């Protein structure tokens, strides 16, 4: 008996006359719908000298529109048990929520109003600024955050979009005013860059109709993509420490520049990183540094390609007395991965793990919506869920090991350490 071609998620994707993209994926599993509204207005587009503008706007955009006050918006959402989530990533500004499917035609216009017509009231500006300043200071007091932010600043120097802090600095946030927020919104918010994803108990024709009603009369031209140049290659190993004398733990970030999401080497590098620092209790890194040597409270590696060349960063939290040993052990595992490569058994287990994790990733409306939005943003196609197992299965051992040799070299690593200790730097 033949089963035919797998249908997968099979979403409906349509383009409105004004350029907006609508993606609908009906699901009757629960009587609810997740709505995601995305625009190309992330932190990478922050104006020069005003780092944190996109994040600041994300904290202000729900505080009122031309027809609704912030309290009226909050009351309407609270009355239906809906929480609005607004965030700014490197490249995207995202407004999302989950509501009962019967409330979909009521909630969608609110998201459209918030997105299209925010009033950005002066009365809320200082309150939100104070909240952001508090969050930045909390980050500055967190060794893990300091290590990662300083790592990215070294990997992506000279004002590169990926080296700047999404929340901005105390100085830049202090200079962002309402005029700057409105100018950013006017420059980056347009139907031509709008993507609306709806997943849940709402039929696709109804989604297209309601989104067209909410956004179809919005006018505006195309938004230029943010230019993300390749970062300069490191001229050698770099090590920087950032003393935080009152802390009991030291946090390490150890990384490399890698590739963009659309690079052909993506799947090989994804599998290699899974073996290195993700699989089971943290891959080879976790097995060696945490389990066998007992040196780390946590250790893992994160591979984060984007529209531009993203990083691969190994992170570890250790007792301050173990920093040098932990870094040396990371060096050893990185060198071994580049030299000996992944084994056939490791590659098979990694493929099985990543393919097997897909159903868990797509078991909720929110998970499906995030996946479809990623497919749209990176141009992967609406059938990517069907093709992904084959793409992973088709990666060869030689391709994975070539990726390891290409990117993993301790002599080119950038290492940052935040926690107790004396400052030192090597370049």
pLDDT in tens, 317-350: 999 999 999 999 999 999 999 999 999 999 999 9
> Span 128-137, mean pLDDT?
98
Phi, psi of 126 (to 5 degrees): -70, -35
Question: Is 33 part of any domain?
Answer: yes
When computed from its CA atoms, the radius of gyration of the chain, rounded to whole angstroms, is: 23
353 and 386 in a single domain? The answer is yes
Question: At residue 281, does pLDDT exceed 90?
Answer: no
- Per-residue pLDDT band for 46 (boundaries 50, 70, 90) equals very high
Q: What pLDDT does 425 receive? A: 52
Q: How confident is the model at residue 126 (pLDDT cuts 50, 70, 90)?
A: very high
Q: What pLDDT, in 10s, does the model give residues 346-398?
A: 999 999 999 999 999 999 999 999 999 999 999 999 999 999 999 999 999 99
> Quick check: is 254 in a domain?
yes
Q: 37 and 152 share a domain?
A: yes
pLDDT tens track for 165-188: 999 999 999 999 999 999 999 999
In the listed set 149, 183, 215, which residue is the last one of a domain according to the structure? 215
Same-domain status, 211 and 242: no
Residue 64 and residue 113: Cα distance in Å, rounded? 9
Contact 367, 361 (CB under 8 A): yes
pLDDT at 3: 43
Whether the per-residue pLDDT at 45 is higher than 70: the answer is: yes
Q: Are residues 289 and 166 in the same domain?
A: no
Q: How far apart are CA 187 and CA 179, in angstroms?
A: 12
Judge contact between 300 and 312, C-beta under 8 A.
no
Q: Which domain holds residue 170?
A: 12-215
Q: What is the mean pLDDT of residues 71-82?
A: 97
Q: What is the mean pLDDT of residues 105-109?
A: 98
122 and 199 co-located in one domain: yes
Which pTM value belongs to this model?
0.95
Q: What is the mean pLDDT of residues 190-209?
A: 98
Q: Do 209 and 251 have their domain in common?
A: no
Cα distance between residue 212 and residue 266, in whole Å? 36
Do residue 120 and residue 78 come from a single domain? yes
Q: What is the mean pLDDT of residues 194-203?
A: 98
Give domain status of residue 145, yes or no: yes
Q: 280 pLDDT band (50/70/90 cuts)?
A: confident
Indicate whether 2 pLDDT > 90. Answer: no
Whether residues 196 and 262 fall in one domain: no
Q: Is residue 226 part of a domain?
A: no
- CA 373 from chain center: how many Å? 12
**In CATH, what number is assigned to the domain containing residue 328?**
3.30.830.10
Does 3 reside within a domain? no
Same domain, 277 and 390: yes
Three-state secondary structure readout of the chain:
CCCCCCCCCCCEEEECCCCCEEEEEECCCCCEEEEEEEECCCHHHCCCCCCCHHHHHHHHCCCEECCCEHHHHHHHHHCCCCCCEEEECCCCEEEEEEEEHHHHHHHHHHHHHHHHCECCCHHHHHHHHHHHHHHHHHHHCCHHHHHHHHHHHHHCCCCCCCCCCCCCCHHHHHHCCHHHHHHHHHHHCCHHHCEEEEEECCCHHHHHHHHHHHHCCCCCCCCCCCCCCCCCCCCCCEEEEEECCCCCCEEEEEEEECCCCCCCCHHHHHHHHHHHHCCCCCHHHHHHHHHHCCCEEEEEEEECCCCCCCEEEEEEEECHHHHHHHHHHHHHHHHHHHHHCCCHHHHHHHHHHHHHHHHHHCCCHHHHHHHHHHHHHCCCCCCHHHHHHHHHHCCCHHHHHHHHHHHCCHHHCEEEEEECCCCCEEC
Distance CA 255, CA 346 (A): 22
Which residues touch 401 (CB under 8 Å, ≥6 apart)?
A: 272, 341, 342
Domain boundary (215, 249, 284) is at 215
Q: In what order do the strands lie in the sheet with 425-426?
A: 296-303, 311-318, 250-257, 414-419, 238-243, 425-426
Q: Note whether residue 1 is domain-resident.
A: no
Report how far apart, in Å, the C-alpha atoms of 24 and of each of 218, 219, 375 are.
Answer: 20, 22, 13
Domain count, the chain: 2
Average pLDDT over residues 409-417: 98
CA distance 238 to 48: 27
Q: Rounded to the nearest 5 degrees, what angle is found at the Cα of 256, between the Cα atoms of 250 and 261?
A: 120
- Does residue 2 lie in a domain region? no
Distance CA(31)–CA(79), nearest Å, equals 17
Among residues 226, 229, 305, the alpha carbon closest in space to that of 264 is found at: 305
154 plus 294 within the same structural domain: no
Mean pLDDT of 230-258: 95
pLDDT over 90 percentage in the chain: 94
pLDDT bracket for residue 426 (50, 70, 90): very low
C-alpha–C-alpha distance, residues 158 and 231, integer Å? 9
For residue 115, give the nearest of 97, 95, 85 by alpha carbon.
95
Whether residue 220 lies inside any domain: the answer is no
Sign, Cα dihedral of 287, 292, 298, 301: negative
Measured distance CA(101)–CA(123) in Å, rounded: 34
Nearest to 27 by CA among 14, 3, 11: 11
Asked whether residue 324 falls in the same domain as residue 356, the answer is: yes
Q: What pLDDT score does 393 carry? A: 97
Tell me the average pLDDT of the chain. Answer: 95
Contacts of 132 (CB under 8 A, 6+ apart): 52, 55, 56, 59, 167, 168, 173
Both 248 and 112 in a single domain? no
pLDDT at 7 over 90: no
Strand 195-200 and strand 21-26: pairing? Answer: parallel
Residue where a domain stops, chosen among 163, 180, 215: 215
């Amino acid at each position: 008996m033949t089963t035919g071609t797998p249908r997968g998620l099979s979403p409906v994707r349509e383009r409105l006359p004004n350029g907006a993209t609508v993606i609908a994926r009906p699901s009757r599993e629960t009587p609810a719908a997740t709505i995601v509204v995305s625009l190309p207005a992330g932190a990478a587009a922050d104006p020069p000298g005003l780092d944190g503008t996109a994040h600041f706007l994300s904290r202000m955009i729900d505080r009122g529109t031309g027809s609704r006050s912030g309290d009226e918006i909050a009351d309407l959402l609270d009355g239906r048990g809906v929480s609005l989530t607004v965030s700014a990533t490197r490249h995207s500004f995202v407004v999302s929520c989950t509501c009962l499917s019967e409330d979909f035609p009521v909630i969608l216009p609110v998201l459209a109003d918030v997105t299209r017509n925010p009033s950005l009231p002066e009365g809320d500006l200082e309150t939100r600024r104070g909240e952001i300043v508090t969050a930045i200071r909390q980050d500055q007091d967190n060794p893990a955050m300091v290590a990662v932010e300083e790592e990215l600043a070294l990997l992506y120097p000279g004002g590169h979009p990926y080296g700047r802090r999404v929340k901005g600095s105390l100085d830049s946030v202090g200079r962002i005013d309402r005029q700057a927020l409105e100018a950013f919104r006017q420059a980056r918010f347009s139907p031509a860059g709008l993507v609306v994803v709806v997943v849940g108990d709402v039929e696709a024709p109804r989604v297209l109709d309601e989104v067209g009603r909410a956004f179809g009369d919005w006018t505006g031209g195309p938004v230029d993509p943010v230019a993300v140049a390749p970062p300069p290659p490191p001229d050698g190993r770099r090590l920087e420490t950032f003393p935080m004398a009152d802390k009991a733990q030291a946090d390490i970030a150890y990384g490399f520049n890698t590739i963009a999401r659309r690079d052909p080497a993506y799947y090989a590098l994804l599998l290699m990183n899974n073996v290195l620092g993700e699989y089971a209790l943290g891959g080879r890194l976790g097995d060696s540094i945490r389990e066998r040597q007992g040196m780390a409270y946590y250790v893992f590696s994160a591979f984060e390609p984007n529209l531009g060349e993203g990083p691969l960063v190994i992170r570890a939290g250790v007792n301050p007395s173990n920093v040098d040993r932990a870094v040396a052990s990371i060096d050893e595992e990185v060198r071994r991965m580049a030299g000996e490569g992944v084994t056939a058994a490791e590659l098979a287990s990694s493929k099985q793990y990543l393919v097997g994790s897909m159903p868990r990733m797509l078991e909720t409306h929110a998970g499906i919506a995030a996946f479809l939005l990623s497919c749209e943003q990176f141009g992967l196609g609406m059938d990517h869920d069907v093709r992904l197992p084959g793409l992973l299965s088709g990666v060869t051992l030689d391709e994975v090991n070539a990726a390891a040799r290409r990117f993993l070299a301790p002599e080119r690593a950038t290492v940052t350490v935040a926690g107790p200790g004396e400052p030192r730097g090597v370049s």
